[in-house]
Structure 1
Amino acid sequence: MIRISSRIRAVIFDLDGTLMDSMGVWNEVDREYLGSRGIEVPKNLSLEIGGCSMYQTALYFQKRFGIQDSPETMMDEWNRLAYELYGTKVRPKKGAREFIASCHSRDIPCAIASSNSRELIEHTLKSRRMEKDFQVILSGNEVRIGKPDPFIYRECARRLQVEPSDCLAFEDLPDGIVAAKKAGMTCVAVRDEASVDVQDEKETLSDGMITDFTELSF
């Protein structure tokens, strides 16, 4: 059990693999997108692009796989492929709703800092009736430099009007943990099936690790 420090004044969540059990969706999108072009999905692709913004991922795909589509065209297709899956298959991690409610009962605002698109973030939250739970949402559409750069976390803190040192971040991948720590935040790692290969690294980089949000208390 991890006890939340009394100095924490805001909580910021990564979305995929952290707040939501959704990394499998992107594995499916990658298989369909690359498979339609006769390309096999490389092992550990999700770890290589895990912290990237969608724009950075598109540039990566252009360089690695020789795809000629523009980044905007690629992002539109990814959103189309993922939209239905996010609305029907993606669920919050165990205890997430209750933890967010506990934050709100203590006047602790919550935010999302995700490499995903705003369209998919908002679609996911509305599908789960969680759209009113977050005071700030910052997406990969709004940053050209993704994690491990700390910009997305610093900008979330600025919009929340809270010092980064008073923020608690939750992340499932090493790049995200590094981004939060570089921003000056406390960061708790979340275990996820998609990142079991880097679990030791996550534990080393973070300030603690949980399997789900029932392992937290105030």
Structure 2
Amino acid sequence: MIDLKGAIFDVDGTILDSMTAWYDITVDYFRGQGIILGSSEADKIQNMTLEESIPYIRNKYLPQMSAETIFAGFKARMEHAYRSTIPPKSGVCEYIRRLHLRGVRIAVATSGFPELCTSAFRRIGIYGYIDAYAYSSEVGCGKDRPDVYLLAAKRLGAMPCDCEVYEDIITGVMSAKKAGFTVTAVADLTNAHDKERLIRHSDHYITGWDELLSKI
């Protein structure tokens, strides 16, 4: 930790306890359209990016609606949740605060929307600690490639070898590790099936942020 120059955080499932909220938003949206979505299909859609999910939903379920209308319906529900209800994971805000106090520069690397992240961060009190943001939409690819983490490191003015990435999805853990970052994998209800791979492909695996608070 002494030599750490940059800390790069994923948002959903890492900082915010939001993965179940995404599931609920998906189910609620379909219910509003008169469609009862099975849990396996809801999981499938939840694990897609919005760029993937909107065409899928339109083609399979709502061909009478435009992609723009479907997108607007989802985004309205997400905006309410991020501004009002989605909580941070226990201990993460204090961990970020302590990193900041130690002079570690902090970035966010996410596939989410900029305005959703910043509104949630203001509400939970960490907005002032974030030095840089990098979004998958800026680099044109998902986290199966390390581009968004590399962009975050660049904006921090740091090399990958001087940064630690905190991530909950296996594709992100693997790509960040291959790009030369130190990686801490973060357990979440939605990644339990990937636990063994997360452990194998990361430098550290935590089930909660309290595990790191005792070390800083």
TM-score range, shorter chain: 0.7 to 0.9
How far did residue 39 of structure 1 move? 5.5
Which of 69, 73, 77 is the aligned partner of 1:77?
A: 73
Q: Deviations over 1:82-138 (max 9, x none)?
A: 122222221221211221122112211111111111121111112212211101122
Q: How many residues align?
A: 213
TM-score between the two structures when normalised by the length of structure 2? 0.86
Which of 162, 176, 187 is the aligned partner of 2:158?
A: 162
Q: Conserved in 2, the CA contact under 8 Å of 1:18 and 1:171?
A: yes
Do residues 108 (structure 1) and 104 (structure 2) align?
yes
TM-score between the two structures when normalised by the length of structure 1? 0.85
- Counterpart CA distance in 2 for 1:10 and 1:187 is 12
Q: Conserved in 1, the CA contact under 8 Å of 2:118 and 2:127?
A: yes
Aligned runs of 1:7-86 on 2, under 5 Å?
7-37=3-33, 38=35, 40-43=37-40, 46=43, 50=47, 53-62=49-58, 67=63, 71-86=67-82
- Counterpart CA distance in 1 for 2:41 and 2:191 is 9
- The structure, 1 or 2, with the larger RCO (C-alpha pairs under 8 Å, 6+ apart) is 1
- Counterpart CA distance in 2 for 1:143 and 1:79 is 21
Mean Cα displacement is larger for which, 6-15 or 39-48? Answer: 39-48
- Counterpart CA distance in 1 for 2:157 and 2:130 is 14
Q: Over aligned residue pairs, what C-alpha RMSD do you find?
A: 2.4
Specify the structure having the higher radius of gyration (Cα): 2
How far did residue 206 of structure 1 move? 1.4
Change (3 A) 1:142 1:62: farther
Q: Quick check: which one's helix share is greater?
A: 2
Fraction of identical pairs, as percent: 28
Change (3 A) 1:129 1:102: closer
Q: Which amino acid in the other structure matches residue 82 of structure 2?
A: Y
Q: Which amino acid in the other structure matches residue 204 of structure 2?
A: G
Q: Conserved in 2, the CA contact under 8 Å of 1:55 and 1:144?
A: no
Q: Which amino acid in the other structure matches residue 127 of structure 1?
A: R
